[in-house]
């Protein structure tokens, strides 16, 4: 097996997306520019340098913010359906570039090609959702206690929305925020992960086409590739009333504190430690498929990755044996080869964390029934390919309480459902959860007030693979933020209550008398 770009049409995809050997990492919706340091984007599929990116400087960031502030003054006055039309056109462009952008996502990040295509489809879906929503940004009308008065509430755009995204979803999370921010009348400033800067530049190239074709001012959609200093400046910038941050709980805690100190608002999408409860009443064929995809998809680098399986003692051995057999059939290799199930981790740091987690698990008493390890040899030259592994553990192990961004699956037993739900909830994170059961009572208990404490709770599907129509996010150390569907658009707007007096007198609320 040889991991070369030419094998899978990567060179053509890069060309079609406007990616060259040397790229500038700042754009305000017009030309690209940058005055910062140069970094190299590596592909974890083969360890090769894809291209160089000149990052943005602090001065570049300040110029970008000034452009965004000026653009907002004009953009907020455009009717929401007109803003929705821009989003519609962006969705159409994504349809044209889906294959190329999906390949780049797969090549630069390392997820399977099908997952790369799926991520671009998420972008298309959120655009479709936002277009319809642009005609439904409604408030409420209320009855006033005072005669001759009308009360209602409405929503206004906030200004600049800052978006800081993680490497594991290089393009989708940005689009969730941008599509909703735009139809709400906001402008956006995006700082992507430097590990996937080319994906961000490609997206900005696509959205620049839309802005140019519609003669829109610079600053409506801006992007800057930069280091942690740029991120820190963005988080502390009083010009940005809303920061959407996707990343680790550790960094999210810092972001939350800094934004709150200046009375800004934040949307936090942080760590997950997601479990599937497999009941004695489960369809085991379905359960195995959901568990394996949830655990090894994106090589375990999803915030919704299945980390824990809580299995009823009566079916524990059967589930365990089926999992061992299924893991033995996994094909690990270049993610652009659609015959492979599992691609690489993002970089060597991720590999080291994977190995450290395995050792910590063993030190605490974990028993590995499918061993891990780093793959080497032909096709694995990048050193980023690892074996998905499975360990029998106890839920209280410190390593099990921790989110490891790697394909390590933990198994544990339970005897009654209340115990299983308690185990499911007994971790610091609260993103996604699931139960596999054909028993209605079990399903309803899991979804009840006494059930899962996560932001996402599923029945007979896994923890991974959320649709854009629902609000996405979690509780506890996952941050409490919500993105994507439902009424999440309200996060991107400021609420205002209005009272109109259409009489010739001025009665006061609560019957207060004030006569002159």
- Give the residue numbers annotated as catalytic, written as ranges: 269, 303
In the chain, what are the helix, strand and coil shares in percent, each to the nearest 5? Answer: 40, 20, 40
- In residues, how long is the chain? 516
Calpha distance 9→337 (Å, rounded) = 11
CB 338 within 8 A of CB 500: no
What are the residues whose beta carbons fall under 8 Å from the beta carbon of 6, sequence distance 6 or more? none
Q: How far apart are CA 317 and CA 85, in angstroms?
A: 55
Conformation bin of residue 498: beta by default, left when phi > 0, alpha when psi is -120 to 50: beta
Q: Please name which of 290, 294, 370, 284 lies closest in space to residue 325, comparing C-alpha atoms.
A: 370
Cα angle at 133 between 173 and 83, to 5 degrees? 80
Scanning the structure block, which residue is given the tokens 């502390």? 236
Q: Report the 10 Å Cβ neighbour count for 134.
A: 25
Alpha helices, DSSP H only, in 160-227? 172-183, 197-213
Query: Tokens 């408030």 appear where?
Result: 139
SS3 140: strand
b/e sequence 412-424, b meaning 16+ C-beta within 10 Å: bbbeebeebbebb
| DSSP-assigned beta bridge partners for residue 49 | 42
């Amino acid at each position: 097996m040889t991991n070369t770009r030419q094998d899978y049409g990567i060179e053509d995809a890069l060309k079609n997306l406007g990616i060259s050997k040397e790229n500038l990492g700042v754009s305000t919706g017009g030309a690209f520019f940058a005055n910062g340091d140069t970094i190299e984007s590596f592909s974890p599929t083969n360890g090769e340098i894809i291209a160089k990116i000149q990052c943005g400087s602090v001065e570049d960031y300040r110029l970008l913010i000034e452009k965004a502030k000026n653009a907002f003054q004009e953009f907020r006055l455009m009717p929401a359906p007109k803003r929705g039309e821009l989003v519609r056109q962006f969705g159409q462009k994504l349809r044209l570039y889906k294959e190329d952008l999906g390949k780049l996502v797969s090549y630069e990040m390392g997820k399977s090609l099908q997952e790369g295509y799926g991520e671009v489809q998420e972008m298309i879906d959120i655009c479709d959702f936002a277009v319809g929503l642009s005609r439904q940004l409604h408030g409420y009308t209320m009855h006033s206690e005072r005669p001759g008065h009308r009360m209602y509430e409405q929503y206004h755009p906030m200004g600049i929305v800052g978006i800081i995204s993680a490497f594991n979803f290089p393009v989708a999370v940005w689009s969730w925020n941008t599509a909703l921010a735009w139809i709400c009348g906001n402008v956006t400033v995006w700082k992507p992960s430097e590990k996937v800067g080319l994906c961000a530049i490609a997206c900005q190239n696509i959205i620049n086409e839309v802005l140019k074709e519609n003669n829109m001012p610079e600053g409506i959609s801006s992007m800057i590739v930069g280091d942690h200093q740029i991120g820190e400046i963005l988080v502390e910038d009083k010009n940005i009333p809303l920061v959407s941050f996707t990343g680790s709980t550790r960094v999210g805690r810092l972001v939350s504190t800094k934004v709150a100190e200046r009375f800004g608002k934040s949307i936090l999408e942080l760590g997950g430690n997601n479990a599937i409860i497999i009941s004695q009443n489960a369809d085991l064929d379905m359960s195995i498929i959901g568990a394996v995809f949830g655990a090894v998809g994106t090589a375990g680098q999803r915030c919704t990755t299945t980390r824990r399986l809580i299995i009823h003692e009566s079916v524990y051995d059967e589930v365990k044996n089926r999992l061992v057999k299924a893991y033995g059939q996994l094909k690990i290799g270049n993610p652009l080869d659609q015959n492979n199930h599992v691609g690489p981790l993002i970089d060597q740091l991720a590999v080291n964390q994977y190995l450290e987690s395995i050792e910590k698990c063993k030190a605490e008493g974990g028993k590995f029934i499918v061993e891990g390890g780093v793959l080497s040899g032909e096709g694995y030259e990048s050193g980023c390919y690892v074996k998905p592994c499975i360990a029998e553990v106890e839920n209280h192990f410190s390593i099990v309480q921790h989110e490891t961004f790697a394909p390590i699956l933990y198994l544990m037993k339970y005897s009654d459902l209340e115990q299983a739900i308690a185990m499911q909830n007994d971790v610091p994170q609260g993103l996604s959860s699931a139960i596999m059961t054909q028993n209605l009572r079990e399903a309803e208990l899991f979804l009840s007030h006494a059930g899962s404490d996560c932001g996402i709770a599923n029945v007979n599907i896994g923890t991974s693979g959320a649709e854009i129509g629902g609000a996405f996010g979690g509780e506890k150390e996952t941050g409490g933020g919500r993105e994507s569907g439902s009424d999440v658009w309200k996060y991107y707007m400021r609420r205002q209550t209005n009272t109109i007096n259409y009489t010739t007198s001025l009665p006061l609320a609560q019957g207060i008398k004030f006569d002159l």
